[in-house]
Structure 1
Amino acid sequence: MKHEVKKGESNTSSVMQFLLLGFSDLPNLQEFLFGVFFIIYIIIILGNSLIIMLIRLDPVLQKPMYFFLANFSFLEICYVSVILPRMLVTVWTQDRSISLLECATQMCFFLVFGATECFLLAVMAYDRYVAICNPLHYPLVMNEKICVNLAFGSWVIGMPVQIGETVQIFSLQFCDSNQINHFFCDIPPIIKLACGNTFINEMVVYVVTMLIAAVPCMWILISYGKIISTILKLPTASGRAKAFSTCSSHLLVVVLFFGSAAITYFRPKSNHSPGTDRLFSLFYTIVTPMFNPMIYSLRNKDVIASLRKLFLTK
């Protein structure tokens, strides 16, 4: 693999092309990894597409909760499609080169879709809060116009910030090494390749992450605090179980996504290593989206009933 650089007027070499090392440290497992990741990608596409189709076709699922779930499933398809197809091509062809523009584009879309997921999960938590804590006002508060606006806002609110963050990351000067010890263009491994002092850039990343991830996460925690308080006040055990079952799937997805992402971005820099970074990144970028359709279908009676109608009716 060649190290493509551009010589400046000074003695500094500017990297014009990166090498995604990915899983190159496992040379004997390349075909196995391709097979595993290909199957995972198919599962994610089919699973989330099935949920979208069920919600579109079944009148029983024409509710705000499932409207947001359809948005979430479509988002998961977009989210993994930013990473997995490129990774599959890399593993299959062993061509690990990626241009500066391609790398910046991949990071930008990854950050935008990641921000959308944070806000959409917060909106879904708000929907469950209104349904459980204010059930009489639910049809009024979560009407069609409000649902569309909340979903649209989730998709677009993080775009300017994440585009700006991508620009500031790739405004850095990259020199000497062009090897990204990761399977996609994520922020931590890219910053490691930058020349000079990157303290300000790292602080910007932390601030943006706090705004994009920590604020929605706090909203989710507050919502679920009130939800749990309301559920515990219900007079019967069956009522409490029914109320909790309506939000348990979403809560599990929240824990998986925010938990693995927080470990990746907020643990001390001294604890970062390429192996652990890849492991946690795999979890929240690929493994969690694979399990999400299963979590929502297996833990939701309405979705299970819709699946039965789809496959058992002639």
Structure 2
Amino acid sequence: MTQTATRPRRGATSAPGPAPQKTGSGPRRPPKRGSFLRGPAALLAPAGIIVAILTGWPLVKLLVMSFQEYGRAQIFGAAPEFVWFDNYLRVLADPAFWGVLTRSLAFAGVNVALTMVLGVGIAAMMTKLAKPMRILVSIGLLLAWAMPPISATTIWGWIFETRSGLANYVITQLTGVDFIGHSWLFDPFSFFFVATVIVTWMGVPFVAFTTFAALMQVPGEVLEAASLDGANGWQRFRAVTFPFIRSVVVVVLVLQIIWDMRVFTQIYTLQTIGGLRSETNVIGTYIYEVATAGGDQGAAGAIAVILVAIMLVVSGYYVFATVREEEL
């Protein structure tokens, strides 16, 4: 016995079924501007106001002071007078300023290069260490990072002390040459060698921790595939790992340039221990000397504004490069 399928008659309506659900593959509507003002902008507003007060107001005062004659008389109550760009012209015409700026750029360049190479290298090494050794290295880095700059500089000053310093004793024992009595801080070249050791030693932990966190996000299967294709360790890092961590490395690089350009505590402390201030000033200590010893806070403000402009150029390059990369 065969069953015949009943076909619906023409004009008959079928029973209503469930409405088809819309898939999420269609174009999404952009969020309304009002929703942004009510959401993220409202949450960021308190922090933005605090940053604007604590950072913006001193910058405005600094900018105003750089256009004024602000010397010892103004410190004791005299009204400052606007001289507009005279402070900038005097600073830019001073050979001492250009010497200090060149010295600061060279010092920052050496420190940034050493800090980045050592920090990224230590981070890469930490990915290969066993967990107990990795914890031990992390504790050592954290102790170096957490030490206050003036305390760290004082301890390193004792190590390089002229008569009883550990550095002179070790060099004497290893080479057989009597190095006791050698002054590391009197000669400008050896002074900046000691300063580079201190600044690099304190900057490596931040680079290492940040880069290590980025390296832990690199997919292991991608590295394994590159290894099966015959790539060695350097090739895997250059072609596979670095593209994943490049944005993090660029951020750390920009921060290191800014921090090393405005270094003050380490240089000033070494100068008080035994360095020649006139031959070892960097831009931070030079601003302090012009403002205090020279008593010309207007010129010091102009130098500080120039330093801020240099930092803005460095930061602006990173911002534009990041925006351009996101657009691509």
Same fold per TM (> 0.5)?
no
TM-score for both structures, normalised by structure 2: 0.29
TM-score normalised per structure 1: 0.30
